[in-house]
Amino acid sequence: MSAASDLAREESIFHAFYAQELPALQRSCVFFMSLLQSILSQARHIDIAKVEGRVKDRGECLHKFSRKYRTALEDSGTPYEIRHYITDLIGVRVVCLYEDELEKVAQIVQSHFDVIDVTDKVSAMEGTEASFGYKGLHLDLRLNAYQAALPENAAFAHHPFELQVRTIIQDAWSVLDHKIKYKKSIPAQLKRRINVLSALFELADREFRQVRDATAAELQRAPDETTEPESATARPLTAGSELNAFTFLKIANHFFKDADFDAQKVDQFVDDMRIWSPGITRARFNTLMRETLATVKRYKQFYEEHKPEGNFSPFTVIRHCLYLGDKQLFRRALRNSSREAFEAWLQGVSSP
């Protein structure tokens, strides 16, 4: 029997296997995605952008087999079944934000899965100067003994899957890389342009991580203005004394110890504060909070008793504190309706 007829027979067997197994493979893919999402959502200090998965297309499977295994098997006369060489019928991708999170994700999944194989494309790409492409971590996995023994997991225990772990920059490069049709047998000038483009993506990955680390360092270094109020005589504005997002957070976290301040909201709120009061200092903001917070907390309690469906968040408290501290300067901190309701309450509590 010729090699061509052998291949045709094995492809026919694989077609039948694929059609029979496809519904179970799709259910397993959804299960693995959900399990990984649950596991990683409990991990601290890892930012997951998305978890996605798919069952590999039948034609892709056959192409991969022919490209990677067929020639060597036929040259050696080794009998084969195509399905035994396709270990990534199920593929799941975890996309995180920063490159130093790739290994953290890999370590976490190893506590729930057995690792069949690992392909570290980070090291592979860093070991060559001539190649270009995306870097990422690929792991072939299956449920470990504990997970496989759980009755609810029995239907998925015999299915291995490939996990790709990438940063969001690597994922973007991979998508765009597939659009570059010719990358090997091309003129050197064009290959160099593609390499430069790949290097820019790599630089972006590194810069995002370094910006994250620098942001954390700025938060740690932010001066503490919360121990002493501003003196009666206004301090002169000195370099570094102007309020910014980091010093705002240091002060706000002091007054609202259990609050979780969203970074984007902080950034916009501080920008608004600096429009309302150009040159506002850390010390001035701290003094305004110290002098008015007790009163505003009483108003918050009154407000929530009369409007239980209302939202009086820490930002809302701060807006009222700013307004109460300087009604002219921070008039725009409150909407007209909010300002009128607050003023009515203030007049009521001050009346004999």
Residue 172's nearest CA partner among 131, 132, 134, 207 is 134
Q: In Å, what is the CA distance from 70 to each residue of 53, 54, 67, 76, 209?
A: 27, 25, 7, 10, 42
Q: Which domains occur in the chain, in start order?
A: 3-208 (3.30.460.10), 222-350 (no CATH)
Residue 225's nearest CA partner among 200, 206, 196, 247 is 247
Give the pLDDT band (50/70/90) at residue 225: low
Which residues on adjacent β-strands are paired with residue 138?
119, 164
**What is the DSSP code string of 75-98?**
HHT----GGGG-TTSEEEEEEESS
Q: In Å, what is the CA distance from 53 to each residue of 15, 89, 92, 115, 181?
A: 21, 11, 4, 18, 25
Place of tokens 């991969």: 64
- 102-139 pLDDT tens trace: 999 999 998 889 998 888 765 555 555 444 455 688 99
Backbone angles phi, psi at 84, to 5 degrees: -70, -15
Residue percentage of the chain with pLDDT more than 70: 89
227 pLDDT exceeds 80? no
Q: What angle do CA 162, 167, 170 make, to 5 degrees?
A: 90
> Residue 267 corresponds to which amino acid?
D
- 130-140 pLDDT tens trace: 444 556 889 99
Give the pLDDT band (50/70/90) at residue 188: confident
